[in-house]
Structure 1
């Protein structure tokens, strides 16, 4: 038997980085740049490429119809204006004669306007032609609206299915992550990524994709129509594009950092709130409410500053774009008016062009206003991608599942450390024979739980081997290995469901008779009948409608029902009363029969009947043997026993 050296206790399930119920710390995160993250996010739409192409086609058609309509409205304006103008001219003369008379009278500007019109002197407005044009325009607008609605419905399905796959991928990823990841990650921070961040990505994609697509296509369509009407005026409008890119890029560069900080602060605050609420009773008992409130206020203030900075920076985009658009509108109106006066453009074309200029700057403004939402969504996507990119458990070695029939467990020169620079277990060797109950005792932090975690392959060894019935656990699929091991922990875990369902969690295929037999064997049956709904009593999320001891009994019944080949009990009776403990020990004795069991215990009364007791002290296995043999030896185990059972008596005698 060699020794095991523990130089420093590594935190258990709470893990490094947790601040307990009075605070929390954040895992360092490295943010990605906006471009690659946005590209990766939109690449997730690839499985919906057919529908995305359909959305694109509908958007193009909708924008095309919308872009043609102003030009036709300009035609209607020309018909009305030309009719009104023609009615003022004397009938019976040609347009050319009317133009010559105007020039002779010195009205060259009016003559220029008249020469560019399609006017019949003395004839008024052709309302039939105007009505036809307006009807066509109405059809175009209705068709554009219908196509846009269809596009929105398709896009909604695309986004929601994409989010469905992302949530499923995150859920699957969580089950592939090693236990060490959860040890180092505050639970509230992880929940924030899985819930808040994914929801934010969904909302942002839903709100921005349709509007961004339509706005960009509108810019292209409107620009084409503007060049068709007047290339000179179109060039004036184009000036706004580089200005828009420059202004938006400068603001985005600043606000993206703020959005990253905002969502980090959100995760940090969630982690603190989750821990503070979980330990709410402790904050009351130890009078730490003011400290918790101060830490909450500090982190809330941090979130406020980050959120204010992000929204303020991105909020500058909208008014800046409106200002640039208004400048363009003024220039086009002035130049267009001069061109109408000179006869180089018709009034309808100027009207259409002014409408196009509005349609041109409006989508640019909309794109700019969507930037802050898009930045927020990409910042959340980065945090989800960090989770998806986290290192997973090493893949199982190829091979078939091995069945544990005897339950012989052997540690052979095992070494392990949670952190490379901090040795924990060094060159440990021990053997647990089939059917033996091996108890592990010692002070807190001696690495007792680490031993059973290694058997379950929650962590992989640095060196050495652990075998079950001669089969190296590292060669066994994790699911197969863990399916043959029953485990009862000190910290009970029950899910929201009935007591029957929680017991059956150990073996879902168990019959009603088997569930009841497990409940009777572990004395669950004794208190269930006092509950209003018996085995159908629903346990709430916190398990507050059953006592701590009753919850522990349910978890023991769950392990009993699973009928494992190897049993691990980690302070399994720590939450039950003394009388119930005696009954549970009897149940545990029946449960441990004919199977190898590892029992971690602080209460030495629970392991008196163990076949082998390992005593760990100062990082080493200092003693091993039976209960009576170790007491007779008068060593470390005897000292622990005396301290636990004789200590109070000695103290009373010394006071007398």
Structure 2
């Protein structure tokens, strides 16, 4: 199945659809602690826009009172005694007030931008870090179901869309409100009858905006989903570029990228078509108010100028200066109303992004730490698996239940490991060995049964304290971008250089590290790409050695090194494991034949256990696996070969489904 099949996102989509009022939640959970910035932005927006309205208002006053001298020069809230009587002085006073409006307006515009940008940036930072923190606390099956590009899209694109709305959108929204209310107050105070004509488009704008919201909202949700699919495909292909090149599949992958890019194009263009039809129509409707104001107001002013009376059914006077104010402010009124659609457009994009963000944040984790849990204190290191059952598709029941639903990966696993012993888990690929050890780390929680360390159930201790006591080396070695030393000290950040070197020597890594261009300060590249598989694995082993854990888990820890290096590392690991409980998985059975106990797993169940000699004498699955590695294939039982073939087919089929 294609990794980008839309069905792969069903779980996330279902969670997203359960998010209620995401924008209200955004302001409730993140807006309150940043309300100071919000208050500065809001107050400065109001004052700045009021100051912006003063110049056209004073233009009308100057025309009627100073130039044409048809009315008395007066200013609201200013005593008449303070107003000069000479027209020239009145002109200078008006000019000084307009200059002051521009000067103070610039200051409040700066404060407005400072407030809104701080408000948006702080929320953007908090949302991104909280989303990441919640995401990394989810258990591993969540990441098995999700594409990295999809999660990156939420953490990057969606969070950035919120920031753009909180900054540009909120800023524009309050600017629009102040302008519309302020202009409406001025127009109604000058001539309420002509003001009603100027506001004719408002009901039509409200109607068409409502229709636009209803149409565009599901389309933006489709756009966000397609962006995640596109990012996932690109991230997948860039991560596997070496396989693509070596397989000569560039054209095949180009076609696949073309397919997901076309899906994004179609979804985005569908939203764009709706948008580009709405905005021009909104401008036309908004322009109706200006045309009506210009035509009716012009005729009105002309009639009043010549006859001294208002035309038609109008009763209010309309001077030349008032008409100029109406024309100027109506033009300013029309543009904000046209911008209203842009604000709604930004809001709908932010709404869709907020749904995805909170959908991710609300994804439940199957691993929940008991609030009363105590730190784990390992004394002996005795580990007991008691009838452990686990399955990835398990759904927790409403109440206590002994039989979990869903197909199990491992079932009825029971064994004991005394402190200081080494236990090896062996078996065919896909038998469940790695899953058994991940349960010890609480990467997953058991569905039935229990795992205890020194008699304490893992679910009764804090997760950090549990994982501090365990050193884990995976067969899938991962190195972070950074230096060799930074990767060795990851998780043991305060280690000295001497301790790092000693750990590297025990992992047989010191010599090759010294030969690197900058030694321990050499950058390893993305995912350690500058190093070979064996080198990466030895650094991972050094990391575990440096941690000096009470329990050591080695999951194919030497699978990528040559036989000679494996022998040297194994010698170091034997010394490391001498005084601590050790779990080891190995396909090279020669590396674990000296283990205190060997547990043989097949199809998620324990089928044999004992020492190496005991299991060879039993002539069961372990003996057959040993014979395979010894090259004695002709002597294998037919039943073993047929079972191996069926198992291989099942593993391949499951890989295809994934």
Question: Is residue 61 of structure 1 aligned with residue 47 of structure 2?
Answer: yes
SS at match of 1:464: strand
Residue number in structure 1 paired with 2:9: 26
Q: Does the Cα contact within 8 Å between 1:189 and 1:268 map onto a contact in 2?
A: yes
> Is 2:219 aligned against 1:258?
yes
Match of 1:47 in 2: 33
Once residues 621 and 278 of structure 1 are traced to their aligned partners in structure 2, the CA distance between those partners, rounded to angstroms, is 36
Aligned-partner SS, 1:264: helix
Q: Which region of structure 1 is more displaced relative to structure 2, 260-269 or 397-406? A: 397-406
What does the per-residue CA deviation read over 1:434-471, in whole Å, with 9 as the maximum and x for residues that have no partner?
22111111111111111111111111122211111111
TM-score using structure 2 length: 0.86
Residues 408, 433 of structure 1: 8 Å contact kept: yes
SS at match of 1:539: coil
Equivalents in 2 of 1:228, 1:422: separation in Å? Answer: 75
Superposition deviation, residue 143 in structure 1: 2.2
Correspondent of 2:434 among 445, 449, 468: 449
Q: Are 2:395 and 1:411 equivalent residues in the alignment?
A: no
**Larger relative contact order (Cα-Cα within 8 Å, sequence gap ≥ 6):** 1
1:627 corresponds in structure 2 to: 612
Q: How does 1:265-280 map to 2 (within 5 A)?
A: 265-280=226-241
Query: Following the alignment from structure 1 to structure 2, what is the Cα–Cα distance between the partners of residues 542 and 514?
Result: 24
Kept after mapping to 1: 8 A contact 2:524/2:530: yes
Change over 3 Å in CA distance of 1:32–1:619 after alignment to 2: closer
Partner of 1:395: 369
Larger Rg: 1
Offset, 1:647: 4.4
Residue in structure 2 matched with residue 435 of structure 1 by the alignment: 420
Is 1:77 the counterpart of 2:77 in the alignment? no
Structure 2 residue 453 is matched with structure 1 residue 468: yes
Identify if the C-alpha distance between structure 1 residues 197 and 519 changes in structure 2 by more than 3 Å, giving closer, same or farther.
same
Among residues 306, 314, 325, which one is paired with 1:352 in the alignment? 325
The equivalent of 1:308 in structure 2 is: 269
1:177 equivalent in alignment to 2:138? yes
- Which of 497, 521, 524 is equivalent to 1:539? 524
SS in 1 for 2:561: coil
2: CA distance between counterparts of 1:397 and 1:444? 38
The Cα shift of 1:538 comes to 1.8
Matched, 1:492 2:477: yes
Cα distance in 2 for partners of 1:505, 1:357 equals: 64
Does the 8 A contact of 1:24 with 1:186 survive in 2?
no
TM-score by length of 1: 0.86
1:506–1:561 Cα contact (<8 Å) kept:
no
Query: Is the Cα contact below 8 Å between 2:627 and 2:633 reproduced in 1?
Result: no
**Corresponding residue for 2:640?**
none
The 5 A counterparts of 1:373-384 are 373-384=346-357
Structure 1's unaligned 5+ residue stretches are 1-16, 87-124, 652-656
Which residue does 1:200 correspond to in 2? 161
Cα deviation, residue 278, structure 1: 1.5
Of 93, 98, 117 in structure 2, the residue corresponding to residue 132 of structure 1 is 93
Q: CA deviation at 1:306?
A: 1.2
Cα offsets for 1:328-358 (capped at 9, x unmatched)? 1121122212332133211111111121211
Superposed CA RMSD: 2.4
Matching residue of 1:227: 188
- How many residues are matched? 595
Q: Deviation at 1:69? A: 3.0
Alignment gaps of 5+ in structure 2: 72-85, 309-316, 395-405, 637-658
Rounded Cα–Cα distance in structure 1 between residues aligned with 2:373 and 2:485: 36
| Shift, 1:597, TM fit | 1.0
After TM superposition, the structure 1 stretch with the greater mean CA deviation from structure 2, 369-378 or 145-154, is 369-378
1:37 aligns with 2:22: yes
8 Å contact 1:413–1:428 — kept in the other structure? yes
Q: How many Å apart are 1:158 and its aligned residue?
A: 1.6
CA distance in 2, matches of 1:35, 1:394: 24
Pair 1:23–1:244, CA change in 2 (3 A): closer
Shift of 1:267: 0.6
Alignment partner of 1:606 is 2:606: no
| Structure 2 partner of 1:518 | 503
SS at match of 1:419: coil
SS in 1 for 2:526: coil
Tell me how far apart the structure 2 counterparts of residues 439 and 174 of structure 1 sit (CA, whole Å): 33
Does the CA-based 8 Å contact 1:522-1:553 persist in structure 2?
yes
**Alignment equivalent of 2:336, drawn from 345, 363, 372:** 363
